[in-house]
Structure 1
Amino acid sequence: MFLLLLFLFFFLSPFLETLSLNQEGLFLQQVKLKLDDPNSVLSNWKETDLTPCSWNGIHCNSVTHSVDSVDLSNSNLAGSFPIDLCSLHNLTFLSLLNNSINSSLPLEISTCQNLKQLNLAQNLFEGTIPETISNLDNLILLDLTGNGFSGDIPLSLGRFKKLEAISLTGNSFHTSIPSLFGNISTLKQLNLSYNPFSPSEIPFQLGDLLNLEVLWLAGCNLVGEIPSSLGKLKKLKNLDLSYNNLHGKIPSSLTELSSIVQIELFNNSLSGELPLGMGKLTELRRIDVSMNQLSGNIPPELCELPLGSLNLYQNQFEGPIPASLAKSPNLYELRMFKNRFTGELPSDLGKFSPLSWVDFSENELVGPIPASLCEKGVLEELLLITNGFTGKIPDSLGQCTSLTRLRFRGNKLYGDVPVGIWGLPHLYLLDLMWNSFSGEISKSISGASNLSMLLISGNDFTGSIPEGIGWLDTLLEFSGSDNSLTGSIPKSFVNLIRLGRLDLHSNQLSGELPVGIKSWKQLNELNLADNELSGGIPAEIGSLPVLNYLDLSKNMFSGNIPVELQNLKLNRFNFSNNRLSGDLPPMYAKETYRDSFLENPGLCGDLEGLCPSKEEVKRRGNVWLLKVIFVVACVVFVVGVSWFYVKYRNYRKTKKGIDKAKWTLTSFHKLGFSEYEILDCLDEDNVIGSGASGKVYKAILSNGEAVAVKKLWSAAEKDKNGDIEKGQIKDDGFEAEVETLGKIRHKNIVRLWCCCTTKDCKLLVYEYMPNGSLGDLLHSSKGGLLDWSMRYKIAMDAAEGLSYLHHDCVPAIVHRDVKSNNILLDGDFGARVADFGVATVMDAVGKGPKSMSVIAGSCGYIAPEYAYTLRVNEKSDIYSFGVVILELVTGKRPNDPEFGEQDLVNWVCTTLDKKGADHVIDPKLDSAFKEEINRVLSIGLLCTSPLPINRPSMRRVVKMLQELDAENKAKIVKKDGILSPYYYEDASDHGSVA
């Protein structure tokens, strides 16, 4: 019996040993039970397996067969930190990167004794970092980026003996940066950026980290001067101190950083000159000291380095550009705009460098444009705005097919523009304004297939306008005023359906306006003044839905002024100095408009008494009844013919194979119309907009009501228009919008009546907003119509709509594309939030940031952390809404050309610091509301804080706006028995709402 037992023991021992490995599998099964796994990433973690080594995210040592690595990155897991992982005693690597773990980090983390790398970045951790974490004696990497850790950074972190990299970026630490990091002598990377630390200086002890290679302290609320001790970091490669409040000079000790590759000091308050001795930094490839108060000349020795990127813009540098700059073999980015540079650019600039982005705008540079700028054939942007450059444009730039932006505005350039420049295939912005160019616009411009903005005003161009411009279907603006252009306006211009501005005033154009301009549905401004145009004014101008600036003065137009022009909502118009005759349209027969019609012999006796006179009205009254009878008869006739035509068209459509029965209508409200009424209105004449997702039609229903119909691009249309590359949404945009709007009921969210679908087409039917979008109205010549009370009301309405999405929807909804163009205005200028094509529903568990595969949103509105982490929550919308508030206060676009490479947020902050609020507030606003405007401005700045933790919730934003309104109403007092909105009590007792 003993021998049998001994035999069984030796025979089964390997099998028993194999079973012992399953103990680690049991630990991992406990982990699986405690985590929410909506994507079934852990589905192959099966209890029936003998070992976990083949499970997703698990790696075992090839010798011991025990688990040494757990990598569950990007798995969308949620729940508490799985402390059972620390029972895997041979675990050396643990990564839960980019999940939704939503707990504090437990004290028991110290039991993961063999861990060398711990990556918990991009989760929802909260609370403090436990002191016990320093007991992980073998830890080499600790990454806690993008969480909600707060409180004090524990002093115990200074006890790490082997730690080489630590990242606490993007958390909520409020205390000052501790000096303890200077004790971790093994550190190679220290990343503390984008935390709301209390104002503090850079600890000089960091200079003791002699192994440090990366020091990243951007956006840490740093003050004081840069400590000279940092010059001891001989191995440092990357130094980033941007987005702080550092002042004083750049210490000369930084020239001792012999290994430095990248220096980022932008957006501080540094002053003085660049330190001498920078020529010793032979490894330096990128330096960015822009948006400071630096002065003096560029040290020639700096330009002799093999730099790749040199950004010195928005400082006070002066003097000439060193010739040695052109010798740098790696230079690809060169931005020096808004300084005081003088002299000429180096003649061989670009000859030895692969330049891609060059911007010397707003300096005092003179001389010729170097011919070698595109020598390497990769130049994309060349901006030389507002200098004193002279001579001709080099022919070599006409061969630079990589160019996308070319801006020479405000110089002294002359001569013919090289033929090749007109037709550059990737160019979307060509700005030659206010120079002395001559010659003709080349016919090669028809090859500029991506051209969006053609700006050539203020030159000496001659000849006719090429027909080919009319085939540039991407063209948004053509400004060619103050030239000597002749001939007629090309008939092909009616094809420019995206055209928003056409300004050709002060030329020698002749002939009649082309037939078919009703296709200009996006046209906002039409200025053809001071030409020799003739013929009648087309009645179809009255059908342009967003036109608000119309100037046809100083031409030879004749005939009557079409009564259809009364359909326009014009902010400014001028028909003076023509040959017009007949009666004025009744709406314009008022003294207010007299100056718009002067010098038109035959126009109501040249407006004497503003025809028709009272006597004329009385005389005409005798035939009024006959006219009414005649009109009624005509109406009956037209209605009959129209009825017949509609019936016949429907019959023809049916014959062509359009089967309306195949349409599926899904309603979200009680409807008073059918899908057939909607389909009958999908005519090009009814197009009122065209954007990234499709065309928008205005449909007048049989009951007289209007709705807006969005027809999403079909697959064929997407391919035709360049899907993705030009921003068209995919089919999931339709699903997102229907899913989101279909269940929302709020007065400040645009109402989705229904959707209609077939296999090849998708329609969304909304309530119609007669005043269009806030962006189109605010940034057009009609912006003056929006007084402060209206702008405040719009801000309040939009805030309440977003607050509903964030706080009253379960789960919460993040819009992801809040901007002024997605805030629509009804007939009373009430605001509705619209366009939910990229909206996302937040996860119910944790309700925290959600990871996106790509950035959605619009340039100028995207929160900085979103672009950095691709993770969104309500704070992303709040940043975008803050930008909208700044738009309402300043009247400026988020990316106004006057900002250069800045956006609106940076421009407002910079201008407030240097010039004060008076230079920020829209001058069109009544100064009587200055205090209230400043208070709203402070709310906008709070919403656009670089740190998400500092942004208020939308519920709080609504409350701040409401409190402001309540305070203002409380300040209105009776004066002489009359309520005066401009008589306020002393408001010194009231604190800022922000």
Structure 2
Amino acid sequence: MTPLLLLRLLCLLPLAATAAAAALPADFAALLAAKSNLSDPTSALAAWDPRLSPSPCRWPHLLCSSHRSASDTPTVASLLLSNLSLAGAFPHPLCSLRSLVHVDLSYNSLAGPLPPCLAALPSLRRLDLSGNTFSDEVPGAYGAGFPSLSTLSLAGNELSGAFPGFLLNVTALEELLLAYNPFAPSALPPGSFSGLPRLRVLWLAGCGLVGGIPASVGSLKSLVNLDLSTNNLTGEIPAGVGRLENVEQIELYSNHLDGRVPDGLGQLRRLRFFDASMNQLTGEIPADLFLVPRLESLHLYQNELSGSVPATLAQAPALADLRLFSNRLAGELPPEFGKNSPLQFLDLSDNRISGQIPAVLCGAGKLEQLLMLNNELAGPIPAELGQCRTLTRVRLANNQLSGPVPPDMWALPHLYLLELAGNKLSGTVDPAIAMATNLSQLLISDNRFTGALPAQVGTLPALFELSAANNMFSGPLPASLAEVSTLGRLDLRNNSLSGELPQGVRRWQKLTQLDLADNHLTGTIPPELGEVPVLNSLDLSGNELTGDVPVQLENLKLSLFNLSNNRLTGALPPLFAGSMYRDSFAGNPALCRGTCPGGRQSRVGRRGLVSSVASILAVAGVILLLGVAWFCYTYRSQRSGQAGEPGGGGRPRWALTSFHKVEFDEDDILGCLDEDNVVGMGAAGKVYKAVVGRGGEDTVVAVKKLWSGGGKAVDGAAKDSFDAEVATLGRIRHKNIVKLWCCFRSGDCRLLVYEYMPNGSLGDLLHGGKGGLLDWPARHRVMADAAEGLAYLHHDCAPLIVHRDIKSNNILLDAELGAKVADFGVARVIGDGPAAVTAIAGSCGYIAPEYSYTLRVTEKSDVYSFGVVMLELVTGKRPVTPELGDKDLVRWVHGGIERGGVDAVLDPRLAGESRDDMVRALHVALLCTSSLPINRPSMRAVVKLLLEAAPTPPPPPPTKAAGEKPLDV
């Protein structure tokens, strides 16, 4: 072949490719046009190229129809583009694909209005546009078109305007999913459900619905799942709900529904889950509700239900989860309750239930949670409950129970909370308690227990709280108590204990409260008590203690200090000689302040003064050394940062990838990257605050710069982090996940531009000396917001995303202290089952225990890390700090609860009026940080639990009985 002929052939190749594209059938030409309208940062559609594949039906993400037309031309039947990071407006060329049956564009970054043209597609059966940021109103054409549509999912977008009730006119619909869009408050019109004979799934949660539930809901004969939760619906639950003969799940929680639970629900033979909690329902529970043969879960808590629990409760054949707490129920429970039901979770707290506890509650041998506190139960605790070895949590406080505790109940092997306070129980604590190796909290105050505390209490390896005040215990304190290094709270006030305080109390490194007031204790106060590092409440008043006040107690930082009414002698240490401690030592006539009779200051006082001065000088020296070290570190960091700036060789060229419409360019960003604008620094680089924009309207953004320094290319780890963050954040749209505006690349420099969060990270605000700015309602909101963001990643993204580095520094706060999850540099997209990793990602103190030895990551790893963040918010402590000794925060909390009760771990700055609310959140955190992944709740369940644990509203006080609301595990 001559060179001239070869040249001619090469020149003809582009023309041949163009001709091939032009010769494509119309459907595939439309696909190429749609591709050109989309931003495709991950090149997911790169294979849509007639030069690469001779048969367009082999292009990825689409399926051709199985039959051909008369002209034998292939047509597109399914377009499956979910979770591909596609951005831009909806590509209108897709509307010309008349043969489309299934369109799935879910979980991308598509924005703008919904396209009306889709409604004209004659064969379209399934349309899924969920998880994008489509906005504006739903087109009216959607109500008059879609002749064949069976599934319409628009959930999780930013659709506004009135609720599109006209969609209920699409008679072929089988699934309608519109949940979690910010529609304007709208009522469902009467008769709105009467034209949907095939509808199986109706998901309208969080849609701004007001008014009543239309009676026509009863016409949905095919309905399997009805979810109208988290709206502002009012009025009664329509009786027509009882005609939903195929329904399996009904979710009506968190509305303003009132009136009675309708009769007729017993006819729903397939019903498995019914949740109408957090409403204003009144009247009695219908008797036939417990006769539903498949009913597994019934949640009616936080209503105003009254009357007695129906006797039919004893016949419920499938009931495993019953929550009726915080109502006005009265009367006795059926004595056979539990015999015929596979009960696992029972919560009847905060009612007025009387009579005895049914002996057969654990008849199926599956009961794990028994919560019946704040009622009027009487009589003994059934001996059969002592045989229920599956129990993990028992809360029977504040009833009128009497008699001894069954001996076997003290020894239940899986029990971690036994709360029997506020009853009339008697007898002794059985030595068999040594078998309760999981016991963390033993709360038995305000009863009539007698005898000595058995030495076996001090052998419990996980004991955090022992609260046995206001009983009639006698004898000495067990010496073994000093061995319980996990003890966080010990409250034995107002008993008849005698003898001396045990030796070796320096082992109580987690103890925050010690209350032994009003006993008959003798001997001296151990000086080593001053070595308990986190003790903040010490009450030894009303005893017969003698000797000096140890100067070592000056080391303690006490919010409550009471040694009054003892027989102490000698001079007070200098710190305690002031008037502010006058009441702490009242009733000790032999104590003196300053100089004792005889004209000289006590030696212990002088030693205390010398010790104090030495301590001050030591602290000052440490501060000076830290300051010098920080100056050197900052100086080296600045020099390294300056050395790594791009420079030389002319102006660098920047490649921009945008995920939202931006009004700035690289010049605007680069002009702000100076040291005065640094707002954060991490392993990946620095974060700058940048004020950018044009047209007279400035935008504040945060810029993360990844830079290796020295003119070298960005290293592999930094590049992987950058690529992972771009791939993940670029396609996520959620109000509780930080927004990635765009990214820039230039040679060895990478810039990520985010929305700016003016209140910085939760870690800085909580632990940086500003913790007082976060009251409990604010902290709870942070928990709820971050949980919503994680739930979106785990449940609404397909495939799901695991963050892998959840920590307080990666939760950012906006101007109103709303929280958003940030920093996706090590995030992983996983499909079915766990994903294998080659290295551990995450931060010390937050990493799930199974992760470190299996290197298998699941969403339950994130749940654990989030639980640690919750513990930070509840305790005010960092996850790893010298204050916690050799334990991380999770183990510290468990140990503290076991020794000192929940109050021992609560942030003392908030644990006043917010105490009960904090305890509820603490229980959720403990569930999330379970050592076994299978025992951790899903993030969707965590969101619901936090909703249940919302802070108690301010005065006027509620009419319901006060008390801690128990939660799920």
Offset of 1:429 from its aligned partner?
Answer: 1.7
Match of 1:345? 333
Show the 5 A alignment for 1:711-750.
739=682, 743=686
Deviation sequence 1:478-501 (CA, Å, 0-9, x none): 211112223333344344444332
Match of 1:824? 767
Q: 2:381 aligns with which of 386, 393, 396?
A: 393
Residues 1:166 and 2:115 aligned together:
no
- RMSD of Structure 2 on Structure 1 (CA): 5.4
Aligned in 2, Cα 1:275/1:457: closer, same or farther, shift over 3 Å? Answer: same
Show the 5 A alignment for 1:412-451.
412-451=400-439
Show the 5 A alignment for 1:84-103.
90-103=75-88
SS state at 1:236 partner: coil
Tell me the distance in 2 between the aligned counterparts of 1:217 and 1:462: 57
Aligned in 2, Cα 1:803/1:375: closer, same or farther, shift over 3 Å? Answer: closer
Residues 1:300 and 2:287 aligned together:
yes
Match of 1:896? 919
Aligned in 2, Cα 1:745/1:156: closer, same or farther, shift over 3 Å? Answer: closer
Tell me the distance in 1 between the aligned counterparts of 2:318 and 2:116: 46
Match of 1:612? 595
Offset of 1:744 from its aligned partner?
Answer: 5.7
Match of 1:378? 366
Residues 1:853 and 2:802 aligned together:
yes
Q: 1:140 aligns with which of 125, 149, 154?
A: 125
Tell me the distance in 2 between the aligned counterparts of 1:232 and 1:303: 24
Match of 1:335? 323
Deviation sequence 1:607-645 (CA, Å, 0-9, x none): xxx4437x977x559x999x89x989x99xxx9xxxxxx
Tell me the distance in 1 between the aligned counterparts of 2:99 and 2:304: 54
Offset of 1:90 from its aligned partner?
Answer: 3.3
Show the 5 A alignment for 1:765-804.
none
Match of 1:472? 460
Aligned in 2, Cα 1:253/1:882: closer, same or farther, shift over 3 Å? Answer: farther
Aligned in 2, Cα 1:817/1:507: closer, same or farther, shift over 3 Å? Answer: farther
Aligned amino acid, residue 896 of structure 1:
V
Contact 2:911 2:918 in 1 (8 A): no
Structure 2 segments unaligned to the other structure (5+ residues): 1-18, 619-628, 637-679, 690-701, 703-736, 744-750, 790-795, 813-817, 822-829, 831-858, 877-906, 925-943, 961-969
Contact 1:818 1:857 in 2 (8 A): no
Contact 2:102 2:124 in 1 (8 A): yes
Match of 2:261? 274
Deviation sequence 1:677-714 (CA, Å, 0-9, x none): xxxxxxxxxxxxxxxxxxxxxxxxxxxxxxxxxxxxxx
Tell me the distance in 2 between the aligned counterparts of 1:224 and 1:107: 37
Aligned amino acid, residue 159 of structure 2:
F
Contact 1:894 1:903 in 2 (8 A): no
Aligned length: 713
Residues 1:232 and 2:232 aligned together:
no
Deviation sequence 1:242-273 (CA, Å, 0-9, x none): 11221122222222222222222222222222
Tell me the distance in 2 between the aligned counterparts of 1:552 and 1:804: 55
Aligned in 2, Cα 1:916/1:472: closer, same or farther, shift over 3 Å? Answer: same
SS state at 2:343 partner: coil
Tell me the distance in 1 between the aligned counterparts of 2:807 and 2:189: 38
Tell me the distance in 2 between the aligned counterparts of 1:357 and 1:263: 19
Contact 1:109 1:132 in 2 (8 A): no
Contact 2:194 2:216 in 1 (8 A): yes
What TM-score do you get using the length of structure 2 for normalisation?
Answer: 0.63
SS state at 2:370 partner: strand
Contact 2:573 2:604 in 1 (8 A): no
Tell me the distance in 1 between the aligned counterparts of 2:153 and 2:588: 74
Contact 2:212 2:233 in 1 (8 A): yes
Match of 1:197? 183
Contact 1:89 1:113 in 2 (8 A): no
Deviation sequence 1:569-589 (CA, Å, 0-9, x none): 211111012221111111111
Match of 1:367? 355
Which has the higher mean CA deviation after the structures are superposed, 463-472 or 558-567?
463-472
Tell me the distance in 2 between the aligned counterparts of 1:904 and 1:261: 25
Contact 1:29 1:47 in 2 (8 A): no
Offset of 1:526 from its aligned partner?
Answer: 1.2
Contact 1:823 1:831 in 2 (8 A): yes
Match of 2:489? 501
SS state at 1:100 partner: coil
Tell me the distance in 2 between the aligned counterparts of 1:671 and 1:206: 67
Aligned in 2, Cα 1:28/1:807: closer, same or farther, shift over 3 Å? Answer: closer
Aligned in 2, Cα 1:276/1:34: closer, same or farther, shift over 3 Å? Answer: closer
Match of 2:539? 551
Offset of 1:887 from its aligned partner?
Answer: 7.0
Aligned amino acid, residue 307 of structure 2:
G
Tell me the distance in 2 between the aligned counterparts of 1:430 and 1:467: 18
What TM-score do you get using the length of structure 1 for normalisation?
Answer: 0.62
SS state at 1:266 partner: coil
SS state at 2:506 partner: helix
Match of 1:324? 312
Contact 1:896 1:904 in 2 (8 A): no
SS state at 1:414 partner: strand
Match of 1:113? 98
SS state at 1:382 partner: strand
Contact 1:476 1:501 in 2 (8 A): yes
Q: 1:670 aligns with which of 624, 632, 637?
A: 632
Aligned in 2, Cα 1:740/1:42: closer, same or farther, shift over 3 Å? Answer: farther
Aligned amino acid, residue 670 of structure 1:
C
Match of 1:220? 207
Contact 1:911 1:919 in 2 (8 A): no
Contact 1:45 1:56 in 2 (8 A): no
Aligned in 2, Cα 1:90/1:422: closer, same or farther, shift over 3 Å? Answer: farther
Residues 1:461 and 2:449 aligned together:
yes
Q: 2:397 aligns with which of 372, 391, 409?
A: 409
Offset of 1:433 from its aligned partner?
Answer: 0.6
Match of 2:513? 525
Aligned in 2, Cα 1:447/1:144: closer, same or farther, shift over 3 Å? Answer: farther
Aligned in 2, Cα 1:668/1:740: closer, same or farther, shift over 3 Å? Answer: farther
Contact 1:473 1:498 in 2 (8 A): yes
Contact 1:181 1:206 in 2 (8 A): no
Deviation sequence 1:962-989 (CA, Å, 0-9, x none): xxxxxxxxxxxxxxxxxxxxxxxxxxxx
Which has the higher mean CA deviation after the structures are superposed, 174-183 or 571-580?
174-183
Aligned amino acid, residue 431 of structure 1:
E
Q: 1:575 aligns with which of 563, 566, 569?
A: 563
Contact 1:223 1:247 in 2 (8 A): yes
Aligned in 2, Cα 1:211/1:804: closer, same or farther, shift over 3 Å? Answer: closer
Match of 1:600? 588
Aligned in 2, Cα 1:376/1:342: closer, same or farther, shift over 3 Å? Answer: same
Offset of 1:102 from its aligned partner?
Answer: 2.7
Aligned in 2, Cα 1:471/1:371: closer, same or farther, shift over 3 Å? Answer: same
Tell me the distance in 2 between the aligned counterparts of 1:453 and 1:828: 28
Deviation sequence 1:183-205 (CA, Å, 0-9, x none): 21111111111121111101332
Residues 1:130 and 2:115 aligned together:
yes
Deviation sequence 1:711-742 (CA, Å, 0-9, x none): xxxxxxxxxxxxxxxxxxxxxxxxxx994587
Tell me the distance in 2 between the aligned counterparts of 1:260 and 1:210: 13
Aligned amino acid, residue 465 of structure 2:
E
Q: 1:584 aligns with which of 563, 569, 572?
A: 572
Aligned amino acid, residue 130 of structure 1:
P
Contact 2:917 2:950 in 1 (8 A): no
Match of 2:167? 181
Aligned in 2, Cα 1:616/1:120: closer, same or farther, shift over 3 Å? Answer: farther
Residues 1:263 and 2:250 aligned together:
yes
Offset of 1:181 from its aligned partner?
Answer: 1.2
Contact 1:482 1:506 in 2 (8 A): yes
Aligned in 2, Cα 1:29/1:889: closer, same or farther, shift over 3 Å? Answer: farther
Match of 2:135? 150
Tell me the distance in 2 between the aligned counterparts of 1:739 and 1:475: 38
Which has the higher mean CA deviation after the structures are superposed, 109-118 or 360-369?
109-118
Contact 1:390 1:414 in 2 (8 A): yes
Offset of 1:807 from its aligned partner?
Answer: 12
Tell me the distance in 1 between the aligned counterparts of 2:819 and 2:768: 28
Aligned amino acid, residue 544 of structure 1:
V
SS state at 2:89 partner: coil
